[in-house]
Amino acid sequence: MTTIHLVDGEKGGVGKSFVTRTMIQYALDRSLPFIAVETDRSNPDVNRVYPDVCSFAVFSESEKQASKADRIFELALENSVIVSLPSQVNRAVTTWISENQLLDLGDEHGVGFCKWFVTNGEFDSVRLFQSSLDYYKGQMNHILVKNMGLCDEWSPMENDELLQKQIQKYEVKVIDFPKLGYQERYLINQKQLRFDDARENRELSILGRQRVVNFLKAAYSAFDSTGTWAEELQQAANSVK
C-alpha cells in the first residue's frame, strides 16, 4: 500500500511548503521509499530546494490540462508520493479526484490518500479545513497540522465545538508542527537550504545548528505519531536487517 500525501492548506502563508520540505527530509533521513511532486508553478520552492527527488505535475480546472495531474497517481503505483500543493487549488484537486474516481481506483490498486492540512489557526483557515472534512466525509484521511511557528494561541480552535465534533467524527489526527527560530528559518529560506545541509551549515552558530536538529526531531516525532508512514518505516527497517 502506498499513499499520496497531499500537503494542503488552501490559503497562502500558512507554511505548506515548509511542512512539505520537512516531510521530504523526514523521508530521506528515515530511508523511506517516496517521490516528491511539485505542483506550484508560480513559486516552486520545494523543487528548488529538493530538485533531485522532485517531479512536476499540474492541477488545472481547464479540461484540456486536467490530465497533467495524472502523473501523481501513476507514481504512487510504485512509491508513496509527497505532493506540494499551491494555494487556491482545492477545486482543481477535488475535480481531479472525483471525476477520475480516484478513491475507488486507489482501493483497487493499493493507493491511499492523506491530506495534511496546514493551518495558522485563523478562522478562515479553520473553515477551509472543515469544508474539506465535509466534502470527503471520512473517505480521505485528514491530518490537521497546527503550525506553531505562526500561532501561539490555539484556544479558539480548541473551543470551537463544531470543529471538535468533526475532528472526533472523522477521527482526525491533530499534530503540532514545531516552531523553528527566526534566524535559522530565515537563513534556510534565503539560501534555499535542504535541512540536512542546514544542520551542518557553518553560517549558523553551534546553537543555531542544534536548534535545527531539535526542530527536526520534534517534527519527525509529530509525523511518526500519525502512523501514516508506518508501512514504509517497517519496510525500511526490514531492508537493513
> Helix (H, G, I), strand (E, B), or coil: what is residue 183?
helix
C-alpha 219/C-alpha 176 separation (Å) is 8
Helix ranges (H only) for the chain are 16-29, 45-49, 70-76, 90-99, 102-109, 123-136, 155-158, 161-169, 182-191, 195-198, 206-226, 230-239
Please enumerate in sequence order all residues whose Cβ is within 8 A of that of 220, keeping only pairs 6 or more positions apart, or say none. 26, 29, 30
C-alpha 241/C-alpha 239 separation (Å) is 6
pLDDT of the chain along its 241 residues, tens only?
A: 999 999 999 989 999 999 999 999 999 999 999 999 999 988 999 999 999 999 999 998 777 776 889 999 999 999 999 999 999 999 999 999 999 999 999 999 999 999 999 999 999 999 999 999 999 999 999 999 999 999 999 999 999 999 999 999 999 999 999 999 999 999 999 999 999 999 999 999 999 999 999 999 999 999 999 999 998 898 888 877 6
**CB hemisphere CA count around 50 (13 angstroms):** 27
Residue from 74, 25, 5 nearest 228 by CA: 5
Give the residues across from 2 on adjacent strands.
111
Residue from 123, 65, 136, 124 nearest 97 by CA: 136
pTM attached to this predicted model: 0.95
Domains in the chain, please, with CATH? 2-239 (3.40.50.300)
C-alpha 225/C-alpha 143 separation (Å) is 11
